Structure 1
Amino acid sequence: MNTVYPKEEKRMSAERNKEIIRQCYEQFFTHRDLTRLTEVIGEGFVQHSPDAPSGRQAYLDHLAEAAFFGGSSDIKLILADGDHVAVHHNMKLAGEDGEGLAVVDLWRLENGRIIEHWDVEQPVPEASRVPNGMF
């Protein structure tokens, strides 16, 4: 009999959730494609960002029109703990010069579906103001 212990199950869930989120970023930012997000965003999706709507379809519609659609994301770190995945990345808006934004997105998944999102973002300042770097 192959027994999966709670700690191992949580680790496996975290790895699966990290991969789901990584795929979403890759498809959205690299290929300008919402397909993977459409597959994994749950119907009762809850948004905690003041600039984006809650609800599956409302959020997908928002993403298709958002300033960062067509932009880029350079993922610096993805961390996961069970159902939560944090992504620290450098996002640049389409057609924008400069260093972009330092962003931390926090996602909550349930049974492989994205059901909640929070974010914190700030413009990347001049290198001289951050001697240790933003990333």
Structure 2
Amino acid sequence: MSDLELNKKIVVEFYQTALDGEPEKAADTHLGAEYLQHNPGAQDGREAFVGFMRFVRGRFPDLRLHIKRVIAEGDLVVLHSHMDLEPGNPANPGQAVADIFRVENGKVVEHWDVIQAVPESPANPRGMF
């Protein structure tokens, strides 16, 4: 397995485990000693990551993550995902999310994201995914 494929695998496992309700396991297995956060609503570090994931899951207990694309270049992995916050609720079609993770020595050490609400009535027929 190439380094790029390994980094993709690490990031997908990390994120899915965290959003499936096991952020401690995700952090223990995949976070580096340092975890830098660029989301303005989240703090740096393991404990902050676990707390943030617990907050999100507490607010949206049925949340489902649908990863649509995984792109890797160098030490960066990008996930393009549909975060379905309330599955089955047409009034909340969720969010389109682009998460960027930096991997160093097999561990996730940095994160950026761009989040956009999925519109109920888009201006074009292609959708966001």
Secondary structure at 2:93 match in 1? coil
Q: TM-score, normalised by structure 1?
A: 0.80
| Matched residue, 1:104 | 98
Tell me, in whole angstroms, the C-alpha distance in 1 between the residues paired with 2:106 and 2:69. Answer: 20
User: Per-residue displacement from partner, 1:9-30 (whole Å, max 9, x unpaired)?
Assistant: xx8111101001111233233x
In the alignment, is the contact (CA less than 8 A) between 2:85 and 2:93 conserved in 1?
Answer: no
In the alignment, is the contact (CA less than 8 A) between 1:28 and 1:69 conserved in 2?
Answer: no
Name stretches of at least 5 consecutive residues in structure 2 with no aligned partner: none
| Matched residue, 2:35 | 45
Question: Partner amino acid for 1:23?
Answer: E
- 1:124 and 1:27, CA in 2 relative to 1: closer, same or farther beyond 3 A? same
Name stretches of at least 5 consecutive residues in structure 1 with no aligned partner: 1-10
Q: What RMSD in Å do the two structures reach over aligned CA positions?
A: 2.1
Match of 1:58 among 45, 48, 52: 48
- 1:57 and 1:78, CA in 2 relative to 1: closer, same or farther beyond 3 A? same
Q: Which moved more, 1:51-60 or 1:110-119?
A: 51-60
User: Per-residue displacement from partner, 1:60-119 (whole Å, max 9, x unpaired)?
Assistant: 222122245651111100001121000000002257823100000000010011110000
Q: Which runs of 4+ in 1 moved over 4 A?
A: none
Q: How does 1:5-16 map to 2 (within 5 A)?
A: 12-16=2-6
| Matched residue, 2:78 | 86
Cα offset, 1:128, TM superposition:
3.9
Aligned residues: 124
- 1:53 and 1:95, CA in 2 relative to 1: closer, same or farther beyond 3 A? farther
In the alignment, is the contact (CA less than 8 A) between 1:108 and 1:115 conserved in 2?
Answer: yes
Identity %: 35
Match of 2:114 among 103, 114, 120: 120
